[in-house]
Amino acid sequence: MAQKDPESGDVPPCAGDPRPQGGALLHRKRSKAARVPLHLSSEVRSTRAEMLPSWGHCVLAALLCSPLWVAGRLAPENEVPLRPTAWLPEARVTPVPLPRDRTRRLYFTLRKRTATMSVTVSPCDAPIEWSLSARTLKDRPSKSLHWSSKKSMPEVWWRGPGTEAKMYSYTGSVVDTFTGPAYTPASIYILRLRSREKDTSASVYLQEGDGALGAFPELPHDPRVHTVGVGMTSVTLSWVPSGSVLKLPPNSHGYQYCVLVNRKHNYRSLCAAQEAVKKERKKERKDKEQKVTVWPILKEWWWQQWDSLEEEEGPAAPLQDEYPGLQCACRGAESVCTVSELTPDTQYYFDVFVMDVRNGTSAAYSGTVARTHEEARPAVAPLGEGELRWVPLRGDGRHSGQLFSFRPRGWQQSALLTLQNCGAPVATVTVSSRGQVLASQPVGRDVVQIWLQGRSSYLIHLEAGGPVAEAAGAPQGGVKMQASSAYHRQAPPALPPTLQIKSFSKLRGCRSVTLAWLGTEERSLYCVYRRKLADGEQAGADGCLGPESRSETERVLCKYFQELNPRRAVTTATIGGLEPGAAYVFDVYLMRRWGIPVKYHSKTVRTRKEC
């Protein structure tokens, strides 16, 4: 056996090896392996320098003499392909993640004597481009090469010289199928998929030979969802049954319909609906995490490889788990459904999917949209400028609430709203504008004044919250109401401190009486009415009896009065022309151009019999 030269690093060739001796290459190998750390002693470094070259030479000699070395390179089973290779299985639905602007390639071959084939691609939630090509290798690989697996074959065909023929292409967002004869000289088929809009996914199904496609359910000729009836809280839908469902015997559970309801838009596939649910849950979790911690949680983007989308997201949950509150979601093979518990006056989008329970595939009908009816509301009656309106209110459900609209005149957009309760002890008034409540307060026995300003229109809601006690002389229990734009001050007008009327005994005669009452600092008109009582008649206390319901013969006096000092705002009036010894009821009204006239409390006075 020849001896090696430690300086040159030459190694005797193996038996039968026709390759030339590679002294330079072995010298570089020895030089790299013979490096010794500087901190070792010179003796140790010399010893290791003698041992390491001989060990490296033995390994290299074994590698060169191994049968794995073929034509100056390692055998293909130890080679890493330059491109990822994915084989498309036959008769199985294959999910394919599609990162944006990245082409995915799937390879497949057909069995011998296969005449026809079909490829079905179902996009998820975005339009995709896909094409089918057949590649023929000009010179097939040598049969002497023993491949350890079929995974390396497309790499060899792709790198080798050959021709490629394009068989089919499609761009869109609906399920599409290519059906045609096999490409006879083809060595391998290449399916390319690409999404230019966003990251998405698709499902692919390969079938060899003739026959109906059993992977995806069939849609009818009319795949639309029809709206049968619409209510305030429910919508009834119907659709033409799927041919796949009709082919099955009764009470079979191979297919079922799923109805999805949402307020955003229709979905083109069941996968798109599930992806929307995932994104919504991710957003909710992200918002929750940002509220809990100050530092944002970094996403492990380095683990997100281009073909690991399904592993990261996990399998999609069925719709009945995502929407447990929706009725008719995946409820069987009935083609009529009523979705209830909806919100009135709301627009909803309805989608119907027919699902193959065994394969986990689905087909989407053309969805529809419907708006539920709004709730029944009482009619809104316009309230005229300065109009005195009697509003009947009952607590038995009839006329329990009424709505009025009022538009003030003038550029100031201001008005004075006055109300007086007449036999409705639990009445409430609420004033709003464009959905915003401006004022809300009870309406009692006293006159209520509400100043309105700054809005072009107002909605007035009167409501009775209890039983009504009808007032004497009034047609029925209710509220007097008036709105006027003639009052331009920035606050409601002042009312008298008290509405009592006084009479003076010393100033009472046989044919006249003297009355006194408090006024206000504003110039106002006061009118006095009288009514003679019959023998034995009692005067009724009716605070809602206004001057509009009094006879002109009962009015005896009207006078203007104003006193800037409220403590001295007392006015008097002497009423003559009376009969001796007769009883009279006197009423005083504060007359205003705006608002309801204010009625003082009635006063009964009897004249003297003898003077």
Residue-wise pLDDT for 41-87, tens only, equals 444 344 444 444 444 454 444 444 444 333 333 334 444 444 556 88
In the predicted model, is pLDDT for residue 490 greater than 60?
yes
- Judged by average pLDDT, the poorest of 254-268, 328-342, 509-523 is 328-342
Residue 233: the pLDDT is 92
| 3-state SS class at 81 | coil
Residue 156: the pLDDT is 58
Q: Which residue has the higher pLDDT, 595 or 87?
A: 87
| 3-state SS class at 222 | coil
For 43, the token pair is 């003796």
For 290, the token pair is 């940002």
pLDDT (mean) for 540-555: 83
Residue 27: the pLDDT is 37
For 598, the token pair is 């204010």
What CATH superfamily is the domain 225-371?
Immunoglobulins (2.60.40.10)
For residue 515, give the H/E element and its range. Answer: strand 513-518
pLDDT (mean) for 365-390: 89
In the predicted model, is pLDDT for residue 10 greater than 80?
no
In the predicted model, is pLDDT for residue 531 greater than 70?
yes
- Judged by average pLDDT, the poorest of 152-161, 233-242, 262-271 is 152-161
pLDDT (mean) for 578-603: 89
Q: Are strands 401-406 and 380-382 parallel, antiparallel or unpaired?
A: parallel
% the chain with pLDDT above 90: 34
519 neighbors 570 (Cβ within 8 angstroms)? yes
Which residue's entry shows tokens 């709105």?
483
For 138, the token pair is 């000009």
DSSP string, 247-309: HSPTT--SEEEEEEEESS---SSHHHHHHHHHHHHHHHHHHHHHHH-SSPPPP-GGG--TT-H
Residue 515: the pLDDT is 94
φ, ψ dihedrals at 312, nearest 5° = -75, -45
Q: Which residue has the higher pLDDT, 494 or 557?
A: 557
**245 Cβ partners below 8 Å, 6+ apart?**
217, 255, 257, 333, 354
Q: Which residue has the higher pLDDT, 594 or 153?
A: 594
φ, ψ dihedrals at 278, nearest 5° = -60, -45
Q: 502-606 adopts what CATH topology?
A: Immunoglobulin-like (2.60.40)
**What is the C-alpha to C-alpha distance for residues 187 and 108, in angstroms, rounded to an integer?**
9
Q: In what order do the strands lie in the sheet with 448-453?
A: 389-392, 478-484, 414-422, 448-453
Residue 1: the pLDDT is 42
Distances (CA, A) of 320 to 66, 337, 385, 543: 61, 15, 58, 64
Which residue's entry shows tokens 């053309």?
366
Residue-wise pLDDT for 452-487, tens only, equals 888 889 999 998 865 544 444 444 678 889 998 877
**What is the C-alpha to C-alpha distance for residues 497 and 541, in angstroms, rounded to an integer?**
20
Residue 395: the pLDDT is 61
- Judged by average pLDDT, the poorest of 257-261, 435-439, 532-536 is 532-536
217 neighbors 270 (Cβ within 8 angstroms)? no
Domain ranges for the chain = 23-66, 94-208, 225-371, 380-484, 502-606
> What is the chain's mean pLDDT, rounded?
76
**What is the C-alpha to C-alpha distance for residues 588 and 212, in angstroms, rounded to an integer?**
96
596 neighbors 569 (Cβ within 8 angstroms)? no
pLDDT (mean) for 187-195: 92
pLDDT (mean) for 144-170: 65
**314 Cβ partners below 8 Å, 6+ apart?**
none
**The CATH number of the domain covering residues in 380-484:** 2.60.120.380
**What is the C-alpha to C-alpha distance for residues 245 and 248, in angstroms, rounded to an integer?**
6
pLDDT (mean) for 222-243: 94
Indicate if 380-484 has the same CATH topology as 94-208.
Answer: yes
In the predicted model, is pLDDT for residue 192 greater than 60?
yes
- The confidence band for 2, taking pLDDT boundaries of 50, 70 and 90, is very low
pLDDT (mean) for 487-508: 85
460 neighbors 417 (Cβ within 8 angstroms)? yes
Residue-wise pLDDT for 283-340, tens only, equals 888 877 765 443 333 333 222 332 333 333 344 444 444 444 444 677 788 899 999 8
- The confidence band for 511, taking pLDDT boundaries of 50, 70 and 90, is very high
What is the C-alpha end-to-end distance of the chain, expressed in Å? 169
CB count in 10 Å sphere of residue 321: 11
For residue 47, give the H/E element and its range. Answer: helix 42-65
Length reported for the chain: 611
Residue 157: the pLDDT is 57
Q: Which residue has the higher pLDDT, 427 or 225?
A: 225
Residue 566 DSSP one-character state: G
Distances (CA, A) of 521 to 204, 562, 570, 599: 89, 5, 10, 18
CA 6, 69, 57 angle in degrees (round to 5)?
15
Q: 94-208 adopts what CATH topology?
A: Jelly Rolls (2.60.120)
**595 Cβ partners below 8 Å, 6+ apart?**
416, 418, 447, 449, 482, 484, 487, 493
Distances (CA, A) of 280 to 30, 62, 274, 515: 61, 60, 10, 78
pLDDT (mean) for 360-376: 90
In the predicted model, is pLDDT for residue 556 greater than 70?
yes
**What is the C-alpha to C-alpha distance for residues 150 and 263, in angstroms, rounded to an integer?**
49
What helix, strand, coil percent values describe the chain, rounded to 5? Answer: 15, 35, 50
- The confidence band for 158, taking pLDDT boundaries of 50, 70 and 90, is low
% the chain with pLDDT above 70: 71
What burial letters (b/e) apply to 487-500, b meaning 16+ CB within 10 Å?
beeeebbeebeebe
Residue 493: the pLDDT is 82
> Number of C-alpha atoms within 13 angstroms, CB side, residue 178?
19
- The confidence band for 154, taking pLDDT boundaries of 50, 70 and 90, is low
523 neighbors 562 (Cβ within 8 angstroms)? yes
Residue 326: the pLDDT is 45
Residue 373: the pLDDT is 93
Q: Provide the H-helix boundaries in 171-269.
A: 243-247
